[in-house]
Amino acid sequence: MFGLIGFPLSHSFSKEYFQKKFKNHQIDEEYELFPIREINDICILLNKNIKKLRGLNVTIPYKESVLKYLTDIDSDAKAIGAVNVIKICEKDGIPVLIGYNTDWKGFLSSLLPLLNGKSISNALILGTGGASKAIAYALRKIGIKCSFVSRSIDKGDYSYNNLDNKAIASHQLIVNTTPLGTFPNVSTCPDIPYEAISRNHICYDLVYNPEQTEFLRKCEANGATVKNGLEMLYNQADLAWEIWIDRV
C-alpha cells in the first residue's frame, strides 16, 4: 500500500493518478488518502498499516513537521528542509522511513519551458512553508534570486501588508506556494497588488484544483504568462514512483 498524508485532502488528484499508474503497469498495489488532522497521527497510521505500507506522499501542512519521524533523509531533502516522499522498508524487523523531496525537480522541469530564454533574475515566492523551500531550492539551482512573502514580516522578506507595486515589478517570476484558492475555497487568493502585474511577468500557482485559480485569473487578466501546478504534480509523482518502485 502507498498513500498521501496531509490535511485536508479533498482536492487531491494523487489517488486517481497513482491507481491508474499501478493498473497500467499491472502492479497489484493500493493507493489511499490519509487525511490526518495532526502530524502525531502518523504514528497511529504507521502502527496500523506498517506491514502493508511501502511509501507515502506528504502534502500541506506536514512537509516540514514530518522530518522528526524519519529514519534518514536524502541530501536534497535535507538541504531543502522539507520532505514530500517517504520510502518505507524494513531492516532487522524494524521499519525504516527515508525522506525525499521530488517537488523541486517536478517544479523545475515544469517551469523551464515557460522561461524560454527569458532573462529572469528575481522571483517572489508567496508563502514560507515546506513547498516554498523546495521552489526556492529549484530556482537557486538556475541562478534566480528568491524573496519570500509571508503573513508575518519576521518569516519573509516581505509581508502582505508591505508588498507594494515596486516589489511586484522588480520580481519577474511570482510563485504561489500557499493553498489559497484550492478547491473548495476557490474564491480566495493571495492579497498582493495585482495591478502591478504585467506582460513581463510569469505567474505560477502550485495549486492545480481548480485548473484556473483566482490568483492565475487576475495575473492573466493583466497580461502575465500563467501556469498551474498540475504538471508539477505529475512530475513529482513520477519521481516518487521511481523511488518506490524502481529502486527495489
Which positions are catalytic? Answer: 63
Question: Strand order in 225-227's β-sheet?
Answer: 158-159, 145-150, 122-126, 173-176, 202-205, 225-227
The label of the residue with cell 516581505 reads 158
Indicate the SS3 state at residue 77: helix
Q: Which residues pair with 174 in a beta bridge?
A: 124, 203
CA atoms within 13 A on the CB side of 34: 25
Question: Which of 50-80 are b and which e, b meaning 16 or more Cβ less than 10 Å from the residue's Cβ?
Answer: eeebebbbbbbebbbbbbebbeebbebbeeb
